[in-house]
Structure formats: C-alpha cells, structure tokens
C-alpha cells in the first residue's frame, strides 16, 4: 500500500470518527430553543393541616347551677405548657354552644401559664376576671372551676392549679373562693348533659 493511499484511509477513518462523535453529542444535547434546565412544573402546595386533640372545656349549664363539660378540638402542641395555653385560650375565647353560657367574664385573657415539676400549674389571667365579674359565691365557684377543671382534666401532668390575676397572687376573684393556694379539680360542680 502506498503512502498516499494509507494517508487517505487514515484521514477517512479519522473523519468517520469525528462524525460519529458529533452525532453522539447531538443526540444527548438539549434542543437549541429549549433552555438546558427546563423547570419541572410542581404540584400545587396545599397548606399543612394542623393536628388537633379533643379537649373538654367547661361552660355554665342552662340552669346556672353547674358546669357542663363540652368537647372541642384544639390545636395539638408539643409541650405541656403550650398545650395548656391552647386549652385555656379556647376556654376563655370559645363561644359556648347553646344553651350553655360562659362563666368567665368577657374580656378575660390568658397572660401566662407555668407548670412546675411537681404538677402545679399557675394560670395568670388578665384583670378583667376580677373587674368584670358579676359576683356571688356560686358564680365565683363556676368561674374558678371552669378554669381549674379545664387545665386539670386535659393535662394529666397537672395535679393542682393556682389562679393569678395580672401577674400577682390574688386572694379571691369576688370574695368567696380562696385563691392563695393551688386548687385541685372539682367534679362536684360538673353535670353531664345530652348537649355537646
């Protein structure tokens, strides 16, 4: 084989290799009119549903003589204190279903909640709980135990509840119930009803 034929065969083979390489590169290259990384359409994001627990709240019975337990969904929280806040916020703000009535003075808010390692909860309420209270020993009992029972019935870690007013220890709300010490749950004021 002459040198000239050998060079022609070599150049022809090299050209064939280059054409093959170009063809392979074009097969794997993106089309020119489409960006190299086309964003993928994502599914619409739905808001994450908040987990709830069923808590027992306490409202005045229609006869005004007792507390009625009413079950309500409240957001699930991670800690005992945060769960207590959710329950008390619902207890203070929830409009009771008919025919029940709220026994907590309107405008009363939760200022803070603390729980000790011994199972004592300290519930700090705004001054409206005293200022707007209608008075009377039964009314005061219903107010106090709607709060105490809501905490103690729903938080197994809590054994006793002490009510504070405006960040301070209070002797009483309306002159009848001693608030200077923590109180335990009182089921004698609770009457089950068919209403929920």
Q: Read off the pTM.
A: 0.73
Q: Is the dihedral of CA 74, 75, 80, 82 positive or negative?
A: negative
pLDDT for 61-98, tens place per residue?
A: 999 999 999 999 999 999 999 999 999 999 998 789 99
CA within 13 Å, CB half, 142: 26
pLDDT digits (tens, 9 = 90+) for 108-129: 999 999 999 999 999 999 999 9
Q: Please state the domain extents for the chain.
A: 1-37, 52-187
In contact, 78 and 44? CB cutoff 8 Å: no
Per-residue model confidence (pLDDT) at position 26: 64
pLDDT above 70: percentage of residues in the chain: 74
Contacting residues for 50 by C-beta, under 8 A, at least 6 apart: 75, 76
| Closest among 88, 91, 136, 131 to 112, alpha carbons compared | 88
Q: Which DSSP state fits 29?
A: S
């Amino acid at each position: 084989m002459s040198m000239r034929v050998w060079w022609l065969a070599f150049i022809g083979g090299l050209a064939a290799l280059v054409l093959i390489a170009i063809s392979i590169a074009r097969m794997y290259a993106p089309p020119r009119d489409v960006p190299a990384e086309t964003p993928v359409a994502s599914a619409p994001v739905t808001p994450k549903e908040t987990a709830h627990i069923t808590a027992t709240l306490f409202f005045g019975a229609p006869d005004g003589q007792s507390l009625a337990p009413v079950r309500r969904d409240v957001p699930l929280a991670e800690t005992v204190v945060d769960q207590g806040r959710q329950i008390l916020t619902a207890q203070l703000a929830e409009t009771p279903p008919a025919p029940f009535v709220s026994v907590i003075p309107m405008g009363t808010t939760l200022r803070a909640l603390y729980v000790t390692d011994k199972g004592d909860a300290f519930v700090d309420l705004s001054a409206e709980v005293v200022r707007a209270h209608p008075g009377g020993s039964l009314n005061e009992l219903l107010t106090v135990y709607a709060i105490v029972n809501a905490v103690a019935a729903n938080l197994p870690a809590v054994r006793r509840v002490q009510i504070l007013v405006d960040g301070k220890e209070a002797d009483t709300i309306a002159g009848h119930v001693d608030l200077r010490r923590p109180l335990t749950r009182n089921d004698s004021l609770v009457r089950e009803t068919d209403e929920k």
